[in-house]
Structure formats: structure tokens, C-alpha cells
Chain A
Amino acid sequence: MNILNLFVIIPMLTVGGILLTKDLKQSRLVSAIGMGFQLILSFVLVYLYLKERQAGNTAAMLFTYDALWFPSLNIHYALGVDGISAAMIALTGIVVFAGIFASWKMELLPREFFISLIILASGVFGFFISLDLFTMFLFYELAVIPMYLLIGIWGSGPKEYSAMKLTLMLMAGSAMLLVGLLGIYFFSSPDPHALTFNLIEISKAHIPIGMQRFLFPFTFIGFGILGALFPFHTWSPDGHASAPTAVSMLHAGVLMKLGGYGAFRVAIFLMPEAAHEQAWIFLILTAISVVYGAFSAIVQTDLKYINAYSSVSHCGLVLFAVLMMNQTAMNGAIVQMISHGLMTALFFALIGMIYGRTHTRLINEMGGLMKVIPFLGVVYVIAGLASLGLPGFSGFVAEMIIFVGSFQHTDLFHRVITIVAASSIVITAVYILRVVGTLLLGPIKNDHFLHLEDAKWYERISTITLVIAITAIGTAPYWLTDMINYSLVPIVQKLSSIQLTSLY
């Protein structure tokens, strides 16, 4: 049996298992076992993938599986992974696992909560393993829809408003995406009887340049909305602020990555000419995201808003690097997706844990927490240092690859925009240190906080898993980047093979 099918089957079995459970204790146990198994499976996949490559398999996609699903439109259930998707799957496995432990005390409707969470996760897994655009889109929707329930029911604050806003904006993105994907389908082959949704086959064909010019913005913005592209990012602060902890973790950690991954794998890979032509517009937008998100984060007072804007900034860097369209920068984009996924999941987990103790998320009302909850405090500092790009953590690796990659363009426009994006490392330091200084250091402001309990065992599992992943990438990045680089070669070849008219 193909290993990739398991990535869809295990979540289904887990959901089935949760349906049989009666209370919180049982359902969280089933979820933890199921997702623990999924985590192991992700690493097995990475291991098998690397083994296969060492054995000399040079196919672009490994572990492929294909079943015809809807013959009249030639829709397949086609699966396959390369180094990039394998890495993304490992990320998802880690974040989902950590997310289950972060919602260990979900008292309200626990069964329904875990079911929705795992359906969301299965959508993400399915998205990363799909090779068929239609199936990919289906999994994408599967991941987005539970979000509405998760925020609307288990959220806090103006949750209905936030849930509605998030869902509607992402649906608008989906609608644009659908236009893009159908357009790609209808021009996937000159022969009207050989139209296909298969990613690899379309990449070999050539979509007429006129169509590309029209379809590229739809596809890129469609994915870009999920990747918090300026000015379509405003669902992110409200959505994250209202979402329960695990949902924020999953959403910022992996769901936003669907945007970056899709923009890279579908929009740019399939429509390289249009991408080259229009890159400058989106480069400007993403550079704005990077700097603007960071500046906005400086003045926020709600921890979740700070982190949401920080995500806008970091995810902006992902799309920024993707648009640089060379091997190094794209590699950096993938690493940044993984790095940001881990860091932001860690942040949201910690914010949830702190909120659970202090019942406030406003940094001005807190202070000196390091003294009372040292474990959470230290992990928060680690997350902050990782986020501001300290060597030894994943963020540094990702940012440096991106900047070096972007600097390979010699023209003034790219140079200037790279320096603008690079300046975010200073602004990031400002808001991270501001939060750390106000929240954790200094004197204790509120006497109620003197008796807070430090992290429980399940909270430690959740945070330590993420910290290990962040440091592993930060100290030994070569295994990850080499894996990604190998799979980037055919993509970059395609991008550079096209006829480049003088654009800049």
C-alpha cells in the first residue's frame, strides 16, 4: 500500500475513533495517539524519501499513486511527494501533534473540537501530497471550512464576527483560485480531449502567454490571501485573536503555508512567464507586507495581535522569496515556511498557556512573569529570539538564505527591495524585545500573578517538541536545505528555460 494514502486514512480513522469516545479524556487520548502516529509517519516518510534518493531514484515525484476519480473531467486522485512537500508534511505533523497537547484541557464539546481539528489537519496533509489541482483544491477547502466552526464555537471575544470575516475572505480567495485553476485546466493542453489537472503534466505543457497574464494574478492572489498578502491580510489579526489556541497554532503554523506553497507550486511553477512579468508588482506588495507587518506589531498591545502582525511580516517574506525565482531564494522561502510554522505555533501555544493563567492578553497588564512561570518564560524568550533571527534557531537560517538568494539579482530594483526587506530584522528585534521586556521582565505588576503555576506536563510536551524542531533546523540546516534543493532543481530549470524578454 502506498504510504501517502495513510496520511489521509489515519486522520479518518482517528475521527472515527473520536466519534466512539464519551468524554474529554478519551477523545484527547485518541487524538493524541492518532496524531502521534501521524507524526511518526511523517518522519518515516522523510526517511524513506531520503533513502529512495540515495538509492538513485531521480524522478521528480516519489511514491506516486494515481486513481481516476471523475472521468468526464479527467480528475484524478493523484499523489506524490518531493523533498519540498515531504518537508512540509513533517512540519504539519509536528504542529498538529503539538496542537493536540496544547488543547489538552478543552472542556467545551471536546469530541466535536478534536474532530474539527483533525479534519482541518487532514485537509492540510491532503493538500501537500496531491498532484492533481482539483484534488488539491478540494483538500484546501476541507482545511478552510472547519475553521469557521472552530473559531465561531470555541473562540473568544467577537468570535462570530472574526469567524465570518476570516471565512469570507478566504472564500473570496478560493473563488479567485477556482477561476485560476479552471483556466489552467482549459489551457493545459492544445488538444481539447487531453485536458488535465495533473500538476506534472501541465508543467510540461505550455500555457499560452496571454492566458498566463490573465490567470496568474487570480491564482497568485487566491493563494496570497491565505498567505497574508498585503492588503488582503486583515483576516489574520482578528481571526487569530478570536481563535482558540490550537486553532491559531494550526492556522498560522500550517494553513497559512498552503498559501505560500500553492503560490510557489501552482502559480509560479505553471505560469513562469507571467510570473516573471508581474513579479515586480507582487514584490512591492510583499516587501510592504514584510515591513508594514513589523511596524504594526510594534504598537499592538494584545499578544495575539502582535503575533498575527508578526506572521504577516514573516509570511510576506515567504512570498517575497518565492517571487525572487532563483534556487537559493526559493529554498529560503521553503525553509522560512517551515521555520515560521514552528515558531508561530510555539508563540500561539505559549500565548494560550499564559492567557489560561492570567486571563488577559494585554501586555500592559502583565509584567515580571519570568519570576513566577520560569519555564514558560524561558520558552517564550527562545521563541522570541528564534523569531528575531538569532543564529542557532531556524529563523536565522531561513532569512539568511532568502537575503543571499535575493541579492543574486544584480539590478537596482531587486537590490533596493532586498535591503528594504532585510531592514525588517531590526524592526522585528524592536517588537520582540518590547514584548519580552514588558511581559516577562521587570517587576510583577499584579499580586494575583504571584501564585501562577508553571507549565504542566502536557504543555511541556507541546512546547518542547516545537523547540527541538526549531533548534534542530537552526543548528543543522544542511539536511533540510539539501533535501529541498534537490527537488528545486527541475523547477528552477523550468523557470530559467523560458524566453526572458528584457523586463527590468
Chain B
Amino acid sequence: MDYTYTLFIPLVPLFVFLILGLLGHKMPPIVAGLIGTLGLGLSAVLSYFTAMNYFWTSHVPETAYTSIKGFEVPWLHLTEKLTIHLGVLIDPISVMMLVVITTVSLMVHIYSIGYMKGDPGFYRFFSFLSLFSFSMLGLVLATNIFQMYIFWELVGVSSFLLIGFYYEKPSAVAASKKAFIVTRFADLGFLIGILMLSFNTGTFDFQTLTDPHGPAIAQAGGVAFMGMSVLTWSLIFIFVGGAGKSAMFPFHIWLPDAMEGPTPVSALIHAATMVVAGVYLVARLFPVFALGAPDALHVVAWIGGFSSIFAAVIACTQTDIKRVLAFSTMSQIGYMMLALGVSGYGGEEGLGFMASNFHLFTHAMFKALLFLGAGAVIHAVHSNEIGDMGNLRKYLPITHITFLIACLTIAGIPPFSGFFSKDEILAAAFRDNKLLFAIEYIVAGLTAFYMFRLYYGIFWGKKTHYHHTPHEAPKVMTIPLLILAFGSVFAGFLPFHNLVTSDGKGFESHIDWMIAIPSVLIGVLGIAIATVMYKSETAIPDKMAQSFKHLYKWASRKFYMDEVYLFVTRKIIFRYISMPIAWFDRHIVDGTMNGIAGITQYAAYSIKGLQSGKLQQYAFVFVSGTVILVLIFVYLV
């Protein structure tokens, strides 16, 4: 089967970006919006077609899914062995990601026509969205790790541009800078990892790298440093890049601030697509991790597990609805990382791999839905603070129902999709590591609790008096909500265990009720507690906060991670490194140069008197010199 046409999936948004970027300011806003949306629509249609084709139409049943290079050209020759190529790689995870990205992106495009209406930067917004879609699609289709790095940087910059979209707001500018610099720092790790991996294996190519009999996994043996092999080290470095993009602890600090961007952007980039790039990266290199470097995989599992509980605790205390969702995203991505980390390779061993991708898919649907719903709420009340909301279910019926569906989905209540994907993750964790399994159980309860705290805070709770009666969003915004709600409800029935598996072969999977029932119960418990505390205004939340004063304070201040970073950047880098270096340069290095010049000048002034041009002086010096010489000769010699 020829997959060359998949090349157009990223190229159409690129073309749209160029058109809107160069000519957008001359168009009426609605035209710019339509061009953007139609372009993305075309990409989406092509992606669905590819998915149909790859998974069903052209697939021979009972065989494994293989990875196919749809297209590839050399781009840059580096050394004899290493050449950077650009191309498209078609395999189960890339096709799945195509569907996720184009679906969510299309919904966000449609939604934004309503949400961004009247904004002076309307065309700019759509051109950036197209740039992002292009970069993200290029990232998932990458045939080699260097191409992935190229697009990795491009999604970083699109994210930067979109977070700082309201560039007149200093807080948005600061947030965009922070996001870019923190992820750039992590990308340095990614780059070093790529350099190490490619030097030792002689290739960038994913197909060669992930080949179980290829050069990468053959490197697994040997100890290089601190008891781990070169391969392990390079994968850990690569994972640092993934952790940065996916907002894993300790690189997560940029994600809450990134909520300064317009809400549709948060839905697209900071919930459904870009932030899962780290998960995708690990999944992409999964055979290398699983077969060549289990130690690196343990790092992935523990970072994922820790991030998920860390973020869940913080989410319980935040009052900005977008920040609650941001920490929830971090927590859910932690789940995905953990699932990869506890997974093995091949067949049922690869349950975690499948579960991670499954959860990535369902999470994209329900988290985009939550963010877009939050956007509709913000659109109605013009505030992000939970305190300014309450009792909105009457005013925003569609938003209310879809938001409730999303909350039930993320809480893991059957038969919504989150139940299925979360259950697979828990089952995978149970097999591998009981401690991580226990942590994830707690996180499941916390998730249900903070989501319903949010839900009740917005749609129930106290009677709030609004200056303007809040009204439901226009159809162009509610229709995407309904479509995504549909996805959240039914995505769980997709046969992921036959489609997206670690080795391409399907395996039998069924729900393990011994794990599922307790997990549903703990979810229900979380909901129940939230209902008691927040459904109507009570004093319980304040009492709780009082009795866990310190924990509450630490959690609401995000465990002071921001302060730590500020200390490092402001104090250490700026004041104790950069300032002294700049001073040293001006006063010591340059001072030396000026000093040399000064000495030369001083010497010149001092001896300048000798060249006075006065004949008497010359005669005087000459005669006295002669006299002195004569005296020396007479008396000393």
C-alpha cells in the first residue's frame, strides 16, 4: 500500500500557516478562520482515511501491524553514517496520534471561531494554530529521531507563540518565556541523548533503532558509568526531553503558567497533544527501552508515578479552574508514563504499552472536552476563579452536561471511556510493581475528588449574583463539545488491544474485575466526598483546610517549586553567574586591555620630552653624556 499521500497531512497546515501568516492581515477575520478550519478539516479527513486504510482496509487479518515508510528524503548529511532524513512513518502509534491530533485540532479550530470572535489577532491566532498542527503532525510522523527533534523544537516555539498570544499582558509574556526556557533546558538533555545514541548505533532511524535485532539493542550490554550501560544513559537523557515537554516532575512548572494562553490553546496543546509528546517519544522508542534498558524504564515509571500523585494533591487545592485542569493533565500524563514504565515487550507483556496509548487517546478526548467546557464557562462569566462561579447549570445546560460527562469519564466510572483505559493501566501496574499500583489507586480517588470539587464549584454550590446573566455559548462552540462528549463516552469500546500493541500483534484482553471494582469504588468515594463538601455551600472545606493547615498551604503553593526555580534563575543564574561574568569582562579582561594601552601611553608621555626638537637641549644632553662617559672612563676603567 502506498502511503505517500500522508505527506499532505502535515503539509496542508503548513501551507495554511504561510497563507495566513503572509496575507492574513488583509483578510476579513472570518475568511482567515474558515481557511484555517478547512485546511485542518482536510488533514483530518486524510488522517481518518489513513487510519481506516492502515487498521482495516489494507490490513491482512491475523497478521502483525508493521511500520511503513510512506515517504523519505535525505535532508542533511552529517557524517558517513549519519544523515538526517525527513519523511513520514506509518505505524499503529503514529496513525493513532494522527487521529487524535487532527480530531482535537479540528474541534479547537471550530470552537475558536466562536471563542476568539472579535479579537484583533484573529488571523494570527489561526495561523499559529496551523503552525502548531503542522509541527505536531510532523513530530508524530517522524521517521527518525532527529526529525522528531526538529519538530519537537517547532512545537515548542508554536506553544511559546500561543501562550504569549495576548502579548500585551506581562503575565502572558512571562509564562511563554518560562515554558520555552524550561522545555529548552530539558531539550538539551534530549539532544545529548540523541548524540550519544546515534554515535553508538550509527543511525537516527526509528525502524533500525527499534528493531529487536538491530544495533541499538545489541549495545545493551556493558557498563559505562554508575553501573548502567551507554544505552541506558542515552535513553535517560532522551527521557529528560520527554519529561520536559510532558510536564513531568521537576520540569512541570511551566504547565500551570501556560494557562495564560487562550483556552482553546490549552485544550489543544496543553492537554491533548503537545504535552503527550513525551509519552509518544517513549512509546516510539519502546522496544529499545524494554529490551535494551529496563533501568531507564524504571526511571520512566517512577517519574510518572510520582508526578501523578504530586499533581493530584496540588489539584485538590487550586482555585483557578484552568490550573486545576492543568495539574490534572500532569497527573494523567503521569499515569501514561507509569503505564509505559511498567510494561514489557510483546504480547500480553505489553499490556502497559497498550494501556498507555489507550489512555492517551481517551484522555485527549475528555481533557479537550474539559478545557473547552471551561472555556465556555470563562466565556460566560469572564473569570477563571472558582469563587466567581456557582450555580451555572441553569444558564449553561449543554456545557453542564458535557462537563459532567467528562468528569465522570476522568473519574473512571463505567461505561465511559476513562474507565477502560484506566483499568488497563492499573492492571499493568499490578503485575509489575505493587507500590506504584497502590499510588495509582490513591490518585484515582483524588482525581474523582478534585474533578467533582471543580464540577460542583462551577455548576452547583453557592448562588452567585452575576452582573450580566451568563448565557450559553453559541453553537459553533457547543457543537465541538457535543462531538468530544460523544468521543469520551464511546472511545472506550475501541479494540485497542488488537490495534496498538508493543509488537504490532493483537492479544486477548479482558477486564480484570478484581482490580476494576475497587477502582470504581474509590472513584465513587471521591465523588461522594466531593458531593458532601461542595454540592452546596458548607463549612467543611474550610475546616478541612484548617485541620491539614500545613499540607494545604504547601499544596496550594504548589510545594514551592516555583520559588525554587525563581531562586535558581533570578538569584543564581542572573545575580551570581551572569552579573559577575559581565563585570569580570568589563573590568578585568577589558581593564587589562585598557591597562596595556594606558601603560603604552604613559611610557610615550614620559619619553616624549626627549624628542623636543630644541637644538640647545640636544646639545646639552649630548655634551653632558660625553662628560659622563669621559668621567666613567677616566675613573672607573
Contacts and interface: CB of A to CB of B under 8 A. Distances in A.
A153 interface: no
A298 B78 contact: no
Contact of A426 (B185, B574, B582, B593): B185
B341 interface: no
A296 B168 contact: no
A422 B170 contact: no
Contact of A165 (B169, B177, B581, B597): B597
B195 interface: yes
Nearest to A327: B79
A395 B185 CA distance: 18
Interface stretch (B150-158, B213-221, B326-334): B150-158
B150 A391 contact: yes
A328 interface: yes
A370 B181 contact: no
B560 interface: no
B482 interface: no
A477 B75 contact: yes
B2 to A, nearest CB: 25
A426 B77 contact: no
Given A368-B168, A390-B157, A407-B195, A296 B585 contact: yes
A190 interface: no
A298 B184 contact: no
Interface residues of B, number: 49
Interface residues of A, number: 55
Contacts of A477: 75-76
Interface string B583-624: 001000110111001000000000000000000000000000
Interface string A417-442: 01100110110011001100100111
A490 interface: no
A392 interface: yes
Contact of B79 (A168, A408, A430): A408
A396 to B, nearest CB: 7
A9 interface: no
Nearest to A430: B181
A443 B170 contact: yes
A481 to B, nearest CB: 6
A448 B36 CA distance: 37
A433 B77 contact: no
Nearest to A401: B78
A404 B77 CA distance: 11
B192 A422 contact: yes
Interface in B82-109: 82, 84
B578 interface: yes
Nearest to A168: B597
Given A165-B593, A295-B577, A429-B181, A391 B78 contact: no
A408 B199 contact: yes
Interface in B49-97: 74-79, 82, 84
A404 B84 CA distance: 11
Nearest to B146: A400
Interface in A373-404: 385, 388-392, 396-397, 400-401, 403-404
A234 B593 contact: yes
Given A295-B578, A299-B574, A426-B181, A478 B173 contact: no
B589 A231 contact: yes
B582 A478 contact: no
Contact of B173 (A295, A371, A441): A441
A481 B199 contact: no
A472 to B, nearest CB: 14
Given A234-B590, A419-B192, A481-B76, A385 B167 contact: no
Nearest to A431: B578
A165 B177 CA distance: 37
Given A169-B593, A478-B75, A292 B585 contact: yes
A300 interface: yes
Contact of B168 (A300, A442, A485): A442
Contacts of B170: 442-443
A292 to B, nearest CB: 6
Interface in A160-175: 165, 168-169
Return the 4 tightest CB-CB contacts between A and B, nearest first: A234-B590, A391-B150, A441-B167, A298-B578
30 contacts: A168-B597, A230-B589, A234-B590, A235-B593, A292-B581, A298-B578, A299-B574, A300-B582, A327-B79, A368-B168, A385-B157, A390-B154, A391-B154, A397-B76, A404-B82, A405-B78, A419-B192, A422-B188, A422-B192, A425-B191, A426-B181, A426-B185, A429-B181, A430-B573, A434-B177, A437-B177, A442-B173, A477-B76, A481-B76, A482-B77
Interface of A: 165, 168-169, 230-231, 233-235, 238, 292, 295-296, 298-300, 327-328, 368, 370-371, 385, 388-392, 396-397, 400-401, 403-405, 407-408, 418-419, 422-423, 425-426, 429-430, 433-434, 437, 440-443, 477-478, 481-482, 485
Interface of B: 74-79, 82, 84, 146, 150-151, 153-154, 157, 164, 167-170, 173-174, 176-177, 180-181, 184-185, 187-188, 191-192, 195-196, 198-199, 573-574, 577-579, 581-582, 585, 589-590, 592-594, 597
